[in-house]
């Protein structure tokens, strides 16, 4: 076994199993200020600012008398903005590796409030179909990666709303394509093409029936 290893060490590999590298194929949102949070912070900071401008433009009002109240009104917005700016994000990471025998998917979140690990693998010889799908519109975003075998499937991905509508679904838990998603797709395509042209890969089908359900966040 050689190469970089983000796949955890507790995964047992067979004695003749090798892989070149891991692929960082998916993660949840890394944005500190998604649209709902940005709206909240903007409201908490914008309202006191608006009141300050109103007081400054009204004749006969002494700004010095109103200053303590105005300064206090900025505190909730400042504290809220600092919290979201400095908080530790609950990012879920998904890595995949292709060995000479298996495709392995490892998903984890090491945030204390989440703290989970998920490991799944399929033997390449058992894979009968695959599906990669990435779609993004101004309302909806979808990322799906599915491998089928005759008995089970390995499914990763989610579909959800974007922008203003994201607060309805909790978009912070929506899986997005990672920086190595395309490279992993190309590697898997090469593996599949090689098996399609070999006697052992004759079972591979591009259009399996009955897809397994993927993670819906």
Q: Which long-range contacts (CB under 8 A, 24 or more apart) does 84-88 make?
A: 84/32, 84/33, 84/37, 84/41, 85/32, 85/33, 87/32
Best CA proximity match to 93, nearest among 178, 152, 12: 178
Q: What is the pLDDT of residue 198?
A: 62
Q: What is the pLDDT of residue 149?
A: 84
207: pLDDT strictly greater than 60: no
27: pLDDT strictly greater than 70: yes
51: pLDDT strictly greater than 90: no
Q: What is the mean pLDDT of residues 21-42?
A: 84
**Angstrom distance (rounded) from CA 26 to CA 153:** 18
Q: Report which DSSP code applies to 65.
A: H
Domain boundaries along the sequence of the chain: 19-30+94-201, 35-86
pLDDT digit string (tens) for 95-121?
888 888 888 888 889 888 888 888 888
**Are the C-beta atoms of residues 131 and 204 closer than 8 Å to each other?**
no
79: pLDDT strictly greater than 90: yes
Best CA proximity match to 16, nearest among 100, 84, 81: 100
**Angstrom distance (rounded) from CA 73 to CA 154:** 52
Phi, psi of 13, deg, nearest 5: -105, 150
204: pLDDT strictly greater than 60: no
**Angstrom distance (rounded) from CA 99 to CA 1:** 9
121 forms beta bridges with 104
Of 41-50, 68-77, 145-154, minimum mean pLDDT range: 145-154
pLDDT band at 190 (very low <50, low <70, confident <90, very high): confident
Helix (H) or strand (E) holding 63: helix 63-86
């Amino acid at each position: 076994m050689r190469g970089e290893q983000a796949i955890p060490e507790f995964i047992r590999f067979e004695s003749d199993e090798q892989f070149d590298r891991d692929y960082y194929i998916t993660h949840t949102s890394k944005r500190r200020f998604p649209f709902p949070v940005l709206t909240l912070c903007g409201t908490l900071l914008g309202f006191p600012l608006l009141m300050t401008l109103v007081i400054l433009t009204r004749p006969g009002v002494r700004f010095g008398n109103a200053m303590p109240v105005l300064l206090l009104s900025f505190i909730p917005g400042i504290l809220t903005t600092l919290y979201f700016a400095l908080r530790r994000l609950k990012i879920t990471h998904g890595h995949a590796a292709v060995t000479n025998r298996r495709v392995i998917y490892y998903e984890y979140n090491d945030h204390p409030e989440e703290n989970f690990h998920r490991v799944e693998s399929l033997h390449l010889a058992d894979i009968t179909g695959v599906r990669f799908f990435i779609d993004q519109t101004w309302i909806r975003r979808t990322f799906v990666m599915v491998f089928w075998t005759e008995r089970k499937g390995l499914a990763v991905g989610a579909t959800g709303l974007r922008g203003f509508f994201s607060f309805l679904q909790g978009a912070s838990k929506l899986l997005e394509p990672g920086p190595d998603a395309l490279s992993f797709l190309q590697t898997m395509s090469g593996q599949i093409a090689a098996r399609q042209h070999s006697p052992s890969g004759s079972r591979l089908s591009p259009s399996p029936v009955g897809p397994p359900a993927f993670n819906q966040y």
